Structure 1
Amino acid sequence: MTETIETDSAEPKLKHFPVPFFAVVMGIMGLTLALHAGAEAYPVLAGASQVIMWAGIAIFTVIAVFYFAKYFKYPAAVQAEWNHPVRLAFFPAISISMLLMATALLAHAPEAARGLWVIGAALQGVLTVAVISGWISHRSFEVGQLTPAWFIPAVGNVVAPIAGARLGYIEISWLFFSTGVIFWVILLTLVFNRLIFHNPIPGKLYPTLVILIAPPAVAFSAYVNLTGQVDPFARILLNAGYLFAILILVQVPKLAKLPFALPWWALSFPVAALSIASFSFARMTGSAAHEMIGLVILVVLIAIMAGLVYRTCLAILRNEICVPE
């Protein structure tokens, strides 16, 4: 009798294992790349970058195994997530995680990075078309269902050129970059319309507001990798990232009052992306101010990651994750 109860209680956990878990990997790999970017100015960070990179790859593997198990055991639950207006946007977090891992692996295992990038880029392309097709399908979405999480598919496209340009895939990287920037502009307009003229974002999803920082910050890194220079457009992208970071900073008191939930991981990758962009700008222009900005943001990122890991582990122990909504 006891065994039956344990089996029955274990199955729903797998059934409710959410696709936003892949955002955890995005945050970890973002921290890896931020430490790597900072290591050029502060070599002591290099060792930590490698350790966190391998930890991130291991965590991605575990999450992928669980999610594929969910797909085979509970395909209807995966379909329900695909039809969910918010969770639909998190599916590209799978391919984005792969692209970020490929970027991190470039310095350590170039051929493995190439293979992973090709798979991740192909999956990102498929998911971008599928998600956008889902958005413009016959089913209607409510304005209240739109959140900054919808930026995730667009962000994935501007992640691809960061490693793609260095691997020699120049034209396909420009295709990804163009797609990402175009949909960033479209979604930015829609999201601000929703934020200004409609009801506030629900508390559980309010941390996704931080995702506003990611598209311009990642686009800056992609653009300078494609062009090899910091021109006026690159400066616009970086400063747009700083502008959104300031807007988010004003929201910190409200964020601090919210209870923890998995969407809190939305804080990690955008902050990492802004740190990476700052370090890259400093390296390419010799700006000591931007190097210091990158370091300050990196310290904030480390504090955020420590808090997120602690609260996630606590939530798992309290059975607050992988439960029905």
Structure 2
Amino acid sequence: MSATNPPPQRAAPRLAYFPVTFFAVVMGLAGLALATHRVELLLGSGSFASTGLIGLTALVFCIIAVLFVLKCLRHPAEMRAEWNHPVRIAFFPAITIGALLIAAGVLPASEPLARAIWIPAAIAHLVVTLGVVSAWISHRTFEQAHLTPAWFIPAVGNVLVPVAGVQLGYLEVSWFFFSVGMLFWVVFLTLVFNRLIFHNPLPERLLPTLVILIAPPSAGFVAWYQINGGEIDAVARLLYYCGLMFVLITLTQVGKLLRLPFAMSWWAYSFPVAAFTIASSLFAEKTGHGFQQVVMVVSYVVLLGVIALLVLKTAGAIRRDEICQPEG
């Protein structure tokens, strides 16, 4: 009987399909915590909410990191396939970006703890960035269709290093990462717009990555604000208003984005909105301009709504057993 009816092939364990893109959840939650801290400072209401949020973010990061490490140990072939994936490779720096954001969130409460997180995270981010760039320029074949705004993620990570690095006293290191991040932003901005304008549209499940366009100039503004001693100069204005323009461009696509079926890539909505909220808060605080104050309030309300929607959608997807599935 066994000769004529071979046993069915066992499906791979669910852990084998645990994607690196889950670290985008950490980026979103950390961004919410940092934006909340800025709102608390403006209101003078203490830091209870932001402290709780950064603690929750650290817990989520640890859970996701443990599961991802287990995947790497038990299913190395699947991990290598993810590294070789033309889109998912860009999400590997999200691991270290999450740690850098947690360090920035911890800094107001504990400088030694922030330093203990920031130093290994910055070193690891450099290593991961070099690995990703090496893969990009190696003999591996990439096609134009593989290029998406997700490729900005390594660049965004570099410009986030100064957010806590300057306050921790690592000014020259911060300058290095900021310079590298801005260089890659300009390069990939050109490549991505060439792909969006002159080639086939992004697949539906990757359309949420369009929101990532907001992140580099917004995060760059925050980093430059730190490096420049908290001054709003011409460079700061250039970065902030570039971020604002990408917000307006994104708004023209909202109808299309809302009609998409939920996927974990929706978490790409969260951090860029948080970065722009923080940038608007710093701009408003320093200049006293009412326009940026209004933008900051609106952005923060939108951020809260986006995070709430993502949490509900993710919980629903978990209940329906729709995540950690092999790609069709």
Same-fold call, TM > 0.5? Answer: yes
Q: What CA distance in whole angstroms lies between the structure 1 residues aligned with 2:208 and 2:221?
A: 23
Computing the radius of gyration from Cα coordinates, the structure with the larger value is: 2
User: In structure 2, what is the Cα distance between the partners aligned to 1:246 and 1:164?
Assistant: 31
Give the structure 2 partner of residue 323 of structure 1. 325
> 1 CA distance for matches of 2:44 and 2:302?
19
- 2:30 aligns with 29
Which residue of structure 2 aligns with residue 176 of structure 1? 177
- Within a 5 Å distance, the mapping from 1:1-325 to structure 2 comes to 12-44=13-45, 46-228=47-229, 229-325=231-327
Which amino acid is 2:308 matched to? A
Distance 1:129 1:309 in 2: 33
- 1:131 maps to a residue whose letter is V
Distance (Å, rounded) in 1 between the aligned partners of 2:311 and 2:194: 33
Q: Distance in 2 between matches of 1:196 and 1:109?
A: 46
Cα deviation for residue 115 of structure 1 reads 1.0
Q: Distance between the aligned counterparts of 1:272 and 1:62, measured in 2?
A: 22
Deviation, 1:9, is 8.4
Secondary structure in 2 matching 1:40: helix
Structure 2: how far apart are the matches of 1:265 and 1:43? 30
Deviates more, 1:67-76 or 1:286-295: 286-295
Q: How far has the Cα of 1:295 moved from its partner?
A: 1.1
- 3-state DSSP class of the match of 1:72? helix
Cα 1:202/1:323, change in 2 over 3 Å:
same
Which digits, 9 at most, give the CA deviation of each residue in 1:102-150, with x for residues without a partner? 0000011210100100011001100111101100000120100100000
Helix, strand or coil: the match of 1:176? helix
- What 5-or-longer segments of structure 1 have no aligned partner? 1-7
CA-based RMSD: 1.3
Asked whether the equivalents of residues 35 and 45 of structure 1 are also in contact (C-alpha less than 8 Å), the reply is: no
Letter in 2 for 1:102: A
Q: Please state how far the C-alpha of 1:45 moved relative to its aligned partner.
A: 7.4
Q: Give the distance between the partners of 1:44 and 1:167, measured in 2 at CA.
A: 25
For 2:318, give the aligned amino acid: I
Secondary structure of 1:320's aligned partner: coil
Residue equivalent to 2:3: none
Instruction: Give the Å deviation of 1:11.
Output: 5.7
Secondary structure of 1:253 counterpart: helix
The answer for the alignment partner of 1:4 in structure 2 is none
Residues 313 and 215 of structure 1: is their aligned pair in 2 closer, same or farther, counting only changes over 3 Å? same
CA distance in 1, matches of 2:16, 2:119: 30
Q: How far, CA to CA, are the matches of 1:186 and 1:43 in structure 2?
A: 40
Unaligned runs of 5+ in 2: 1-8
How many angstroms does 1:40 deviate by? 1.6
Equivalent residues of 1:213, 1:241 under 8 A apart = yes
Runs of 4+ in 1 over 4 A off after TM superposition: 8-11
Query: Structure 1's 234 and 255: CA in aligned 2 closer, same or farther, altered over 3 A?
Result: same
How many positions carry a matched residue from both structures? 318
Q: What letter matches 2:249 in structure 1?
A: L
Residue 48 of structure 1 deviates from its aligned partner by 1.8
Provide the C-alpha distance between the structure 2 equivalents of 1:212 and 1:134, rounded to a whole number of angstroms. Answer: 22
How far off its partner does 1:251 sit? Answer: 0.2
Q: CA deviation at 1:66?
A: 0.2
Following TM superposition, by how much is the alpha carbon of 1:38 offset from its aligned partner in structure 2, in angstroms? Answer: 1.3
* Cα drift, residue 10 of structure 1: 9.4
Does the 8 Å CA contact 1:12/1:323 hold for their aligned counterparts? no
1:91 shift after superposition: 0.2
Amino acid in structure 2 at the alignment position of 1:150: W
Percent identity between the aligned chains?
52
Partners of 1:212 and 1:16 in 2: how far apart?
27
Q: Which amino acid aligns with 2:268?
A: A
Q: Using the alignment, how far apart are the partners of 2:223 and 2:201 within structure 1?
A: 32
Checking the alignment, whether the CA contact within 8 Å between 1:38 and 1:45 is kept in structure 2 is: no
User: For the residues of structure 2 that align with 1:12 and 1:56, how far apart are their CA atoms?
Assistant: 27
How much has 1:31 moved relative to structure 2? 0.2
